[in-house]
Chains A and B, each alone.
Chain A
Amino acid sequence: MLEGLVSPENLSLSYADMSVPERLKWLQQHQQQEVLSLSSNDSPDLLQILQFHGSNNDELLQSTFSHFQMVGSGFGTNYNMGFGHSHEAMDGCISRTSSCQIHPPDTMGVMLKNSEENRAISLKNKRKSEVKTREEEKTEKKIKVEAETESNISNKEASSDTSKETSKGASQIQKLDYIHVRARRGEATDRHSLAERARREKISKKMKYLQDLVPGCNTVTGKAGVLDEIINYVQSLQRQVEFLSMKLAVINPELELGVEDLSVKQFQAAYFTNFPVVIASKPSVMVDVPLFPLDQQGSLNLSVSNPNQTSIDAPSESWETQSQSLFASVLR
């Protein structure tokens, strides 16, 4: 059960980046945009994957984002634990979480709709409320502590005496995570089912994301169908890779790999626009390409990597003109 409680924190880990007022502003700003942005995201690339990753645990984040440079958001500050780069992640996470809610999130606490718990709702919504009954206090405190602490302070058995101070301290030192969970009327609102509901929502969110990723999944409804499609797609991709590698093995001796990296640009063109890319004829000699003329191309952000040390006595001038014409044709 601890797991179940810990995981919702990870969901809202991205909230850790901002203080509450900033966060509210951010949410209000982006609420209207999020619907549009969600629908208009048609070319998910790794950027979105990494946004998605923002909802996962610490280590993964720290290992993943060290490799990618993310576009800074309007905040531009680096918070502790190096999560400055997860602004995009937060953006994606916020837009996703807010899309799960019916009303605009006016509170930052755990939200319950159960009529019996209405008082608890209003109480929880305020961060440092004093008016509570003893029992509710304890449960609320515990939930809040777990909601507020990040994964390194995840001890469920934190003493209720110190939990209030720690929660306050935690909220000051570490940014707050909040779980946005809606309890429908009559549903159990105890911690276990809350956590489980949060977990299930997380999973369904990921399923939706996968649905967008895998082509042809939109028509299918229901988890089973989507999972089927995903399985088929992964299998077909793996088979394709195997087939291509077999082909590669066959033609390996004749491989002209000297100008291989030029086609990286073609990859993107092929990938995003589905246009057939015409590959210009290349010299079939492996040479050390002088990079200087390539840099002058300006818009090309490629360079040819040719670790092959054998340089062949091709006249460098003709090679330069050849490569420039090659790039010109590629750019077209």
Chain B
Amino acid sequence: MERQIINKKKRVFSVEPNKIPPSEVFTRKYTSHLVPALKKLNMNKNSSQVNQLTVKHEVDMALALSAQEFAWSRFLLQKLSSSNNPTTATSSSSNGIRIQERSGKEGGGDEDGEIEEKLRELQKLLPGGEEMNVEEMLSEIGTYIKCLELQTIALKSMVQDTT
């Protein structure tokens, strides 16, 4: 039955396959990941207390799953799966070594140092940002921002729906 629904979904969408805006694609994917996960959480938890952490986990998981085209989603998935298995240690590789390369070329004064710092901070915000070089990180940040925005809208309307 579920497959039927999914197939019907596809059929409905494929009327104009090239013109679905990617934001819509992402939003749909996101809700289709998150909603069942939340329902499962609901059903599995016998106690009425739904752990906030698990919800956050599901939220992040849905984000990562719906945006698999981007590099940061891979890192996010890694992080999530590693947080599930505490045995795997997350190795944080060179923290901004690539940025230091850049500052060498710039012959940095104070201003450049500031910029490097900010770039490093930005890298920390982005999942997996520390393992990318600057250019890659900048483009990934763009997509990350977009997906975050869509995610907040999705969550907002989900919360609104029920209150």
Chain B: interface size category:
35 or more
Instruction: Identify which of B52, B71, B162, B163 contacts A249 (C-beta below 8 A).
Output: B52
Contact A245 B118 (CB under 8 A): no
A88 to B144, CA, bound (A): 20
Chain A residues 223-263 with CB under 8 Å of chain B are 223-224, 227-228, 230-231, 233-235, 237-238, 240-242, 244-257, 260-261, 263
Query: Cβ of A261: which chain B residues have Cβ within 8 Å of it?
Result: 28, 31-32, 35
* Residue among A242, A245, A279 with most chain B CB within 10 A: A245
Q: Are B18 and A241 in contact (CB under 8 A)?
A: no
Give residues of chain B (13-61) contacting chain A, Cβ–Cβ below 8 Å. Answer: 13, 15, 17-28, 31-32, 35-36, 38-39, 41-42, 48, 50-52, 54-56, 59
CB pair B146–A248 under 8 Å, yes or no, is: no
State in angstroms the CA–CA spacing of A264 and B125 once bound together: 27
Min distance, Cβ A209 to any Cβ of chain B, angstroms: 6
Given the contacts A223-B115, A251-B163, A256-B161, A301 and B13 also touching, CB distance less than 8 Å:
yes
Q: Is the CB of A307 within 8 A of B5?
A: yes
Please, which residues of chain B bring their CB within 8 A of the CB of A305?
5-6, 9, 32, 35
- Give the nearest-CB partner of B54 in chain A: A249
Report the Cα distance A53→B22, complex, angstroms.
14
Which one of A45, A67, A237, A248 contacts B159 once the chains associate, using CB atoms below 8 Å? A248
Interface string of A291-313 (1 = CB under 8 A from B): 10001000001111111110000
Residue of A nearest to B159 (CB): A247
Chain A positions 34-48 with a Cβ under 8 Å from a chain B Cβ: 44-47
Residues of chain B contacted by A241 (CB below 8 angstroms): 59, 148, 151-152, 155
Per-position contact with B for A16-39: 1 when CB-CB < 8 Å, else 0? 000000000000000000000000
Docked-complex contact B115 and A52, CB < 8 angstroms: no
Q: Are A248 and B1 in contact (CB under 8 A)?
A: no
Q: Which residues of chain B come closer than 8 Å to A288, judged between CB atoms?
A: 1
CA–CA, A45 and B149, complex, Å? 11
- Residues on the B chain within 8 Å of A71, using CB: 18-19
Are A263 and B157 in contact, with the CB atoms below 8 A? yes
Per the bound structure, the CA–CA distance linking A254 and B114 in Å amounts to 48
Instruction: Report B35 CB to chain A, min CB distance, Å.
Output: 5
Contact A237 B152 (CB under 8 A): yes
Query: Using Cβ atoms and an 8 Å threshold, which residues of chain A touch B20?
Result: 69, 301
- A64 near B56 with CB under 8 A, answer no
Of the stretches A109-117, A146-154, A196-204, the one at the interface is A196-204
Residue of A nearest to B119 (CB): A227
Q: Which residues of B contact A302 (CB under 8 A)?
A: 12
Do A72 and B122 contact each other (CB < 8 Å), given the known contacts A257-B39, A267-B27?
Answer: no
The answer to whether B142 touches A209, judged by C-beta atoms less than 8 angstroms apart, is yes
Binds A, one of B78-86, B89-97, B131-139: B131-139
* A270 and B23 alpha carbons, distance in the complex (Å): 13
CB pair B21 A230 closer than 8 Å: no
List the A side residues contacting B17 at CB < 8 Å: 69
Q: Mark A186-212, 1 if CB is under 8 A from B, else 0.
A: 000000000010010011001101100
B122 near A231 (CB under 8 angstroms)? yes
Complex Cα distance, B24 from A67, in Å, reads 13
From B69, B118, B156, name the one whose CB has the most chain A CB atoms within 10 angstroms: B69
CB within 8 A of A291: which of B5, B144, B153?
B5
- Of the candidates B1, B27, B162, which one forms a contact with A264 in the assembled complex, judged by CB atoms under 8 Å apart? B27
Residues of B within 8 A of A306 (CB): 5
Given the contacts A249-B52, A260-B161, A68 and B12 also touching, CB distance less than 8 Å: no
Q: Does A234 lie within 8 Å of B145, measured CB to CB?
A: yes
**Cα of A160 to Cα of B139 in the assembled complex, Å:** 35
A90 interface contact, C-beta 8 A: no
**A196, A295, A307: which contacts B12 (Cβ < 8 A)?**
A295
Contacts of B39 in A (CB 8 A): 255, 257, 307-308
Picked from B54, B156, B159, the residue with its CB within 8 Å of the CB of A251 is: B159
Closest-by-CB residue of B relative to A282 is: B161
Most buried by B among A55, A209, A264, A266: A264
- Nearest 5 CB-CB pairings of A with B: A46-B22, A249-B55, A244-B155, A227-B118, A64-B69
A-B contact pairs, 10 of them (CB 8 A): A46-B21, A49-B22, A68-B25, A210-B142, A214-B145, A257-B38, A261-B35, A268-B23, A305-B35, A307-B36
Beyond A245-B52, A247-B159, A249-B54, 10 additional pairs, beta carbon < 8 A: A206-B139, A234-B144, A234-B145, A241-B148, A245-B56, A248-B59, A249-B50, A254-B162, A264-B31, A268-B23
